[in-house]
């Protein structure tokens, strides 16, 4: 049975390890760098002239060509989606047929008989 005695904060209890108390310092504001990241302005703008990227009057936007290109892209994407759906459906049908055959059935293939007209 442990002995009930008052515990001194600096004295470990029997069988426990001695711990260490860490003192936390309050946060301070970050110090300003000794050297500025950017040199002081000497009358020059900090960014190079961007007028060289502006479109001129000779660069007329070819709206019709852009719309045709967008339409062609939409058609190609639609075709890819349709092909993916067809492939998925075909593989699903083949899987059903294979499961039917492997289960030992004999009437797996559908037979389409046209209706007799009178």
Residue 38 counted as domain residue: no
Check: CB of residue 109 under 8 Å from CB of residue 96. no
Residue 72 counted as domain residue: yes
Residue 53 counted as domain residue: no
45 versus 100: the higher-pLDDT residue is 100
- Type and span of the H or E element at 80: helix 63-102
DSSP string, 1-61: -----PPPTTSPPTT-PPP-PPPPPPP-PPPPPSS-SSPPP-SS-SS---GGGS--TTS--
Residue 24 counted as domain residue: no
Number of domains the chain contains: 1
**Rounded Cα gap, residues 98 and 109, in angstroms:** 10
Distance set, CA 118 to CA 113, 115 (Å): 15, 10
Residue 21 counted as domain residue: no
Model confidence over 21-40: pLDDT tens digits? 888 888 887 776 666 565 55
Residue 15 counted as domain residue: no
Q: Does the pLDDT at position 6 exceed 80?
A: no
Q: Read off φ and ψ for residue 12, nearest 5 degrees.
A: -75, 150
Model confidence over 86-97: pLDDT tens digits? 999 999 999 999
**Rounded Cα gap, residues 48 and 72, in angstroms:** 38
Q: Across all residues in the chain, what is the average pLDDT?
A: 78
Residue 50 counted as domain residue: no
What is the domain extent for residue 92?
64-102
Residue 90 counted as domain residue: yes
């Amino acid at each position: 049975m442990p002995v009930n005695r008052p515990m001194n904060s600096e004295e470990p209890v029997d069988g426990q390890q001695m711990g260490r108390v860490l003192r936390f310092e309050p946060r301070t504001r970050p110090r300003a760098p000794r050297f500025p990241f950017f040199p002081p302005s000497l009358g020059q703008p900090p960014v190079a002239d961007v007028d060289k990227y502006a479109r001129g009057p000779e660069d007329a936007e070819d709206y019709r060509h852009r719309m045709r290109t967008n339409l062609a892209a939409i058609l190609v994407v639609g075709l890819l989606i349709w092909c993916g759906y067809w492939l998925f459906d075909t593989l699903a049908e083949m899987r059903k047929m294979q499961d039917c055959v492997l289960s030992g059935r004999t009437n797996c293939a559908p037979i389409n008989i046209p209706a007799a007209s009178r």
